[in-house]
Structure 1
Amino acid sequence: MNTEQKIILPSNSIFTTEEVLQFRNDTLGCKNVIHLNNAGAGLMPDIVTQAQLDHIQLEAEIGGYEASALRVDVISAFYNQAALLFNCKPSNIAFTASATDSYTRALSSIPFTQGDIILTDHDDFVSNQIQFMSLRKRLGIEIIHIKNAAVGGVNLNDLEEKLKKYRPKLLAITHIPTNSGLVQPVEQIAQIYASYSQKYPDNTWYILDACQSVGQMKLDVQQLKCDFLSVTNRKFLRGPRGTGALYISDRALDAGLEPLFIDMRGAIWTEKDTYQQQPDSKRYEDWEFAYSTVIGTKVAIEYCRKVGEDKIEQQVKLLSGILRTKLAVTNKIRVLDTGPELGGLVTFTVEDSDPLSIVNGLLKRKINVVPSYRAFGLIDFDEKGVQWAVRASPHYYNTMDEMETFVESVKEIIGA
């Protein structure tokens, strides 16, 4: 798309037409598709793509180790940018391969023993829940779920009661589930956890899965009060695939927590039978990185912060709200999102239809969305009485005319 082309934005758009045109001109993919799969992988800005290509070219010219040594300052800048993104110190940040990789490293560092309790929500990410069940099978831990409130999301009274009653080894919350527009009330959860931790300071660790919220809204770990924050970089942050990040609190570092399979980057082999862990978050990293993706992530964070996290959140909520309203007008479509706050993931199901016919029909029209199945969020889908959903997730570079095209295309495919 060039700057002479016209686009339509909502009347109350947070960004001006000129700003959105610039975002789209910065993004090759906007010329080719209507991309509503930002909860899967956002379209990378061209400067993110180029930063990676430049480093890969440098590796080809002088060697991989030599290229990373030459660009050590740029690579180190990733930690500075991530620290600014989460309001922490660079020493609290580890680079990982994905949100699940981040989560697994954090989870493996919790010193579970038989009978310990994991307290989690009903809308936790599927991989997290599977890992909990694996721990139950191996170590004999117990999994307890917090009740949902009537409007959706964590019942805060039940959370407070169960923290005090069970004093779990781990509190595990997913900020935004992969299969729903729900945004959990993490600020209130933080207040409850902080008050509980003052009374029982050594009982419980708190992991917050922010896989879908990073890049979609501002994340301040000082306010969130979590011990670990796991993220991926490919979604709303618009970074490269195969990258993630993990925030580790000073409390967790000072307690000596470390991942189960710590390697030669995370520790120094000091004597035949001893090693010394790194004093900071590097103990949660591995030796080998694809350094082009570290650099690409740095550039993606810089781009996100320049656009403005607060503005991004407002625009994403505006566009996703418009989608829900327009989809709900059609009787055959059931919008599934519930909760006290809704974010950028719009999920819906259609009677007498199937997800692949809808997704593939949209793909033929160069519109990107994805299906979501019961196994991705079993408790949530069973409560809603559905087997599948289609997930559309707009971002700040999407336009009102793209929203209209998407809704009309869905109607055409399902015969509404």
Structure 2
Amino acid sequence: MDLNELRKETPGCSNVIHLNNAGAALMPQPVLEVIQLYLQEEANHGGYETADKWAAELATFYDTAAQLLNTRSTNIAYTTSATDGYNLALSSVPLKRDDVILLSENDYPSNFITMLSLQKRLGIRLELVRNTPSGEIDLEDLESCIKKFNPRLVSLTHVPTSSGLVQPAAAVGEITRKYDTFFLLDACQSIGQMPVDATTIQADFISGTFRKFLRGPRGTGLLYVSDRALQAGMEPLMPDLRGADWTSRFNYQPRVDAKRFELWEKSSALMIGCLESLKYVLQLGIREIEARNALLCEYLRTELATIPGVHLMDKGAHPCSIITFSVDGKEEAGTKEYFRNKGINIYTISKNSAIIDYQEKGIDWAMRVSPHYYNAEIELERFIEVMKEWVS
């Protein structure tokens, strides 16, 4: 991994110290260029015509995404975001009144809101699985809850937005496979910074986004759909002519593969950018990315722990490339702007994005930094320097 070359290929590195990769990473030049090229061709020749010209290249998106997730192209759908993919998957679960969905206490806030909406509309029941003392979902309690409630679905967020906790997704998959329940994994914060292996995890659905650690454009995502879910006939609540064929006046036939979860209209320019971002990650190697990020995070956690008034908030046996911390005597308002004025992008998380987690931690908000492999050590040193100035 040539850091100098990576930074040359990242135009934003000359403008800012970007430590908000869990929000939206800086796109590399090859991703930016192919999107611009595609849009220029659309402007010159027409949207449908350009899509026809690029059809073969666009089709390789599925093989390339499948390579990253260790699955087959028939199990991959292109979506407009992780939330879009999550909701499409959720809509395929045949829920009725009093059906139970199991959630962890660290699920993604958007997922919680969606579940609460379903509870209000359909009368389903939501049950929370306990955490272990170290913060991860309690696997014994999970199995006990499955036996007790016979849930229709288990929903888990691999890495929450509010901390660097990494949930034991493969162990959850091992448990759910033993029972008549489906497993939906939100991997929006994990894909691109660590291996997400669909075969090992054994989830029925895995949703992800490109704007974060995959370094793709915003407004894009992917959805993995297992053979088990496809063979069970699971399909989105409102398919269109991309995901199904209209076979007679009052009948339609869904596609046999995961593309039944796609809608016909999408930005092909952004999709080709996603393909380029996948190639970029695969060329570097996801294990190499994970190892590089671990070094950056070890430095940051060590240095932050030495600053008076700073309290690291991440739980879990193996925290990832998301670091959250509270700061005594500081307010959330104006924090991002302070660092932005110093040429550093960070992020803050409010309690309303982590109701359960932050109530237990006794905080109203936290700072979040999320380095990625293209960040240089000198950038982290500068961030620590500014942190010390800010808290003093």
Partner of 1:309: 286
Q: Cα deviations across residues 283-311 of structure 1 (Å, max 9, x unaligned)? A: 10011110011100000000001111001
What is the distance in 1 between the residues matched to 2:29 and 2:333? 30
Q: TM-score, normalised by structure 2?
A: 0.98
Q: Cα deviations across residues 82-140 of structure 1 (Å, max 9, x unaligned)? A: 01011111111110000000000000000011111101100000000111111111111
- Return 352-361 or 385-394, whichever deviates more: 352-361
Structure 1 residue 187 and structure 2 residue 170: aligned? yes
Structure 1 residue 343 and structure 2 residue 320: aligned? yes
What is the distance in 2 between the residues matched to 1:191 and 1:23? 38
Q: Give the aligned residue type for 2:219.
A: G
Offset of 1:191 from its aligned partner? Answer: 2.2
Partner of 2:16: 33
- Return 245-254 or 316-325, whichever deviates more: 316-325
Matches within 5 A, 1:1-20: 15=1, 19-20=2-3
What is the distance in 2 between the residues matched to 1:117 and 1:318? 41
Structure 1 residue 356 and structure 2 residue 333: aligned? yes
Q: Give the aligned residue type for 1:372.
A: I
Corresponding residue pairs, total: 392
Q: TM-score, normalised by structure 1?
A: 0.93
Partner of 2:199: 222
| Residue of 42, 47, 51 corresponding to 1:59 | 42
Partner of 1:149: 132
Partner of 1:11: none
Q: Give the aligned residue type for 2:337.
A: N
Partner of 1:4: none
Partner of 1:323: 300
| Residue of 139, 160, 170 corresponding to 2:122 | 139
Q: Cα deviations across residues 356-377 of structure 1 (Å, max 9, x unaligned)? A: 3332111011100111100111
Q: Secondary structure at the match of 2:223?
A: strand
Structure 1 residue 210 and structure 2 residue 182: aligned? no
Q: Give the aligned residue type for 2:52.
A: A
Q: Cα deviations across residues 156-208 of structure 1 (Å, max 9, x unaligned)? A: 111121122212100001000001010111222222223x23xxxxx211000
**2:173–2:183: 8 Å Cα contact kept in structure 1?**
no
Matches within 5 A, 1:108-123: 108-123=91-106
Structure 1 residue 289 and structure 2 residue 272: aligned? no
**1:119–1:170: 8 Å Cα contact kept in structure 2?**
yes
- What stretches of structure 2 of length at least 5 have no aligned partner? none
Offset of 1:245 from its aligned partner? Answer: 0.2
Partner of 1:50: 33
User: What percent identity do the matched residue pairs reach?
Assistant: 44
Q: Cα deviations across residues 303-328 of structure 1 (Å, max 9, x unaligned)? A: 00111100111111221222111111
Q: Cα deviations across residues 2-28 of structure 1 (Å, max 9, x unaligned)? A: xxxxxxxxxxxxx5xxx1111101110
**1:358–1:413: 8 Å Cα contact kept in structure 2?**
no
Q: Secondary structure at the match of 1:356?
A: coil
Q: Cα deviations across residues 190-240 of structure 1 (Å, max 9, x unaligned)? A: 22223x23xxxxx21100000000000111100000000000011000011
Offset of 1:394 from its aligned partner? Answer: 0.1
Q: Cα deviations across residues 15-68 of structure 1 (Å, max 9, x unaligned)? A: 5xxx11111011101111100000000111100000000000110111000000
Matches within 5 A, 1:331-410: 331-410=308-387
**1:123–1:379: 8 Å Cα contact kept in structure 2?**
yes
- What stretches of structure 1 of length at least 5 have no aligned partner? 1-14, 198-202
| Residue of 162, 167, 177 corresponding to 2:145 | 162
Q: Give the aligned residue type for 1:29.
A: G
Partner of 2:233: 256
Q: Secondary structure at the match of 2:334?
A: helix
What is the distance in 2 between the residues matched to 1:318 and 1:387? 29
